[in-house]
Amino acid sequence: MKISFLAQRRTALKRLVQYTVVGLFALSTALAVSFVQSTQAQTTPRFKSTVINLAYQTSGDIVKAKKVVEPRFKALGVTVNWIGPFPAGPQLIEAMNAGRVDIGTVGETPPIFAQAAGITEVVYIAARRPSKGLNQGIVVRDNSPIKKLSDIKGKKVAFQRGSNAHYLLAKALKEVGLKIADVQVLGLTPSEARDAFIQNKVEVWVGGDPFLALVEKSIPIRNLRNAGGINTLGGFYIARREFITQNPELTRVFLEEADKVGEWADQNPSEAAKLLAPELKIDQSVLETVARRTVRRLRKLTPSIIAEQQQVADFYFQEKIIPRKVDIKGAVPTQLLQAITPGRLN
């Protein structure tokens, strides 16, 4: 039996409509699922922790003093704990390796010493912008017979081992043909080293602000060599590897707020000094000096910054100050940098 052409066309059109409806339904369902998944991915917090432990040192922390991170984290349901004060970077890193703190800021040297000691949990997350180096120095009393840097050979020198003071001394000594082994090292915390110098227990002190500015105002001293051209990195923000892996959003939020505070402090040194004075119990005029020769803004980790930090590590190894060569890239969470780095960091 023959089927008319008109009937055939009706059947074909009917099937086409059926298939089209089915196809559109399947497509719309797939798009809906995709949209929901995308929305969930965008709205699901990229963090697991409900507490963030931030470290601070005895030298003061403008982020802690400004109290801006607390409300930002509170909105996310996260509690902020400030842990410290730590005497210096090495002690801070020790606490971080033990899991007591999640994020903190240190000079260029402590993370290198940590890697040399086999610590793998501590990683770099951002760099600090460098200052002109006026906030550190190798100093003697004004009436000291030591007139130039090479004169400190054989003398007692007080400083915090494994800190940026260590690097300043080692590099400065190399400039005049000496090594760390050519002086008598008295390893003390920054405040202890300052006190030993003030009490005439040592002839030479390697220190930094705010203690340096305080001593400058207290007694006549001479700065044999500041950190200009030596401590050019400015230091770093570091964190626990496990913490940033589980909490990239919290890490980014903190760095964003820290940089905002840093920008404010750089633009308002007097206000920054006023804010820190009650916490540090140091005269505001001294802290204004500190603020004017300190740069607090951050910068993102770049290959050039990492390469410069590698040069510092290589210097320590070449001078036999650390026991083994370290690879700085091993402490850089490359795959997480995009997620944890705020867009405002240059």
Whether residue 139 is predicted with pLDDT greater than 50 in this model: the reply is: yes
My answer on whether 126 and 143 are in the same domain is no
- Rounded mean pLDDT of 195-216? 96
- Rounded mean pLDDT of 130-159? 96
CATH of the domain at 215: 3.40.190.10
Whether residue 30 is predicted with pLDDT greater than 80 in this model: the reply is: no
**How many percent of the chain have pLDDT more than 70?**
87
Within a domain: residue 232? no
pTM of the entire structure? 0.85
My answer on whether 118 and 184 are in the same domain is no
Per-residue pLDDT at 47: 76
My answer on whether 213 and 87 are in the same domain is no
Within a domain: residue 42? no
Within a domain: residue 45? no
My answer on whether 125 and 258 are in the same domain is yes
My answer on whether 100 and 140 are in the same domain is no
Within a domain: residue 65? yes
Per-residue pLDDT at 45: 60
Within a domain: residue 124? yes
My answer on whether 121 and 250 are in the same domain is yes
My answer on whether 256 and 326 are in the same domain is yes
Contact present, 137 and 145 (Cβ < 8 Å): no
My answer on whether 123 and 140 are in the same domain is no
Tokens linked to 251? 């890490």
* CA-wise closest residue to 129 among 259, 310, 311: 259
Within a domain: residue 322? yes
Number of domains in the chain: 3
My answer on whether 209 and 265 are in the same domain is no
Per-residue pLDDT at 304: 96
Within a domain: residue 307? yes
My answer on whether 145 and 12 are in the same domain is no
- Rounded mean pLDDT of 257-285? 96
My answer on whether 66 and 150 are in the same domain is no
> Residue 13's domain spans which residues?
1-34
Within a domain: residue 64? yes
